[in-house]
Amino acid sequence: MPHANAGSVGARTGVTGGVGGVGVGVGGPSGGMVGGSAAGAVGGSTDGSGSTGGSDLRNAAVFVSASGGVGVSVFAALCARTIVRGGTSCALADMDLPAGGMDVVLGLESEPGLRWGGINAPLGRIEPSSLRNELPKWDGMPVLAADSWSASLPDWWEVHAAVRALSQISDVLVLDAGHAQRWRELRPAVVVLVVELSVLGLARARAELLRLVEGDVGGTAGMVGGVPGTVGGGVGVNLAGGMADGAIVVVGAPPPWSSKMGTVDIGEAEDYLGREMVGMLARDAALGRSVLAGTGVTTVPRRLRTTVDVVCERIERECRPLKRRTVGGNEGVNDGVAASGGRSPFGGLRGRR
């Protein structure tokens, strides 16, 4: 069985099993070995739980929702494609591992390559370039999709290892977390929250916003006017482990039902949440048929382009890639904004997708 040199002491990566697996051994993971297993991918835990104290992913954008069925996966994919076509390298991964199915959404279900079920990092580290070579590609970007129906789920330290490796092979890492919870152990640069515009959806979203602001350490984020207040400053994670105000992007989505009855007006929703929504995920019949038929996402629908562009501009600003890599993974020079003469590359894509 062929193996690739992983570029560190005693490290090797190979393909194993029917789906394929990435197995990496290193001289010692961050945090060491506890109870016979890796303590974690980054910043390792020493309590033997397999959980880390949190991995800082300064170039990651996590797409989440407190409600199911609002199109988070499709929206994350559209933004990832737009980022790539704006000249910035990107990787895309499922983070709601029990649900998963990003490869189905993209029309990659029959494509060979590694899925989450094949990830194997017993010592908590994966060689980034080896991982990239094993993954299926969509529009040139590596995709790590969950396949919970056909394989066992990886341990959480292996999830940390894979996500960290993905963040090292791309300028921006887009993570589709749906309404999963364990992604909170990762510390992304930006969170995109998709809010269902119903009474129940708004109640769930308000609670989610409070969790995002407070993080895992309670008592430091107050309630201002009955809604989550702003904690800390700057970009990304504040000292309490929560997200700074500017790192949370809120997008509205109509409820799954077709009638307008029960749909909350976007202005009322903003008043209730105490936050501005940067756009709406308007329904597109052709896109819906394509996803349901398994033929994948092809283009950004015209009615979604403005919202997608605004969110991509925010991701670009929060992630601030220091170096640009080509789709092939080679490093280039300059950063995303400077390379375009101080202008975001995303607005110019309208009409060219």
Helices 199-214, 266-273: axis angle to 10 degrees equals 40
Q: What is the pLDDT of residue 294?
A: 72
Domains in the chain, please, with CATH?
Answer: 9-51+109-169 (no CATH), 54-89+170-328 (3.40.50)
Q: What is the pLDDT of residue 238?
A: 39
Distance CA 52, CA 239 (A): 17
Q: What is the pLDDT of residue 55?
A: 64
Return the closest-CA partner of residue 167 out of 303, 268, 58, 54: 58
In the block, tokens 């990092």 appear at 121
What token pair was written down for 131?
Answer: 């991982």
Side chain identity at 63, as an amino acid letter? F
What b/e string do you get for 264-288 counting C-beta neighbours within 10 Å, with b at 16 or more? beeeebbebbbbebbbbbeebeebe
What token pair was written down for 275?
Answer: 């936050």
For 44-91, write each residue's pLDDT tens digit. 333 333 333 456 889 999 999 999 888 999 999 999 999 999 999 999
Q: What is the pLDDT of residue 337?
A: 43
For 145-158, write each residue's pLDDT tens digit. 998 677 678 888 99
Q: What is the pLDDT of residue 258?
A: 59
For the chain, list residues with pLDDT below 50. 1-53, 217-240, 322-342, 348-353
C-alpha dihedral, 210 to 205 to 71 to 81, nearest 10°: -30
Q: What is the pLDDT of residue 46?
A: 32
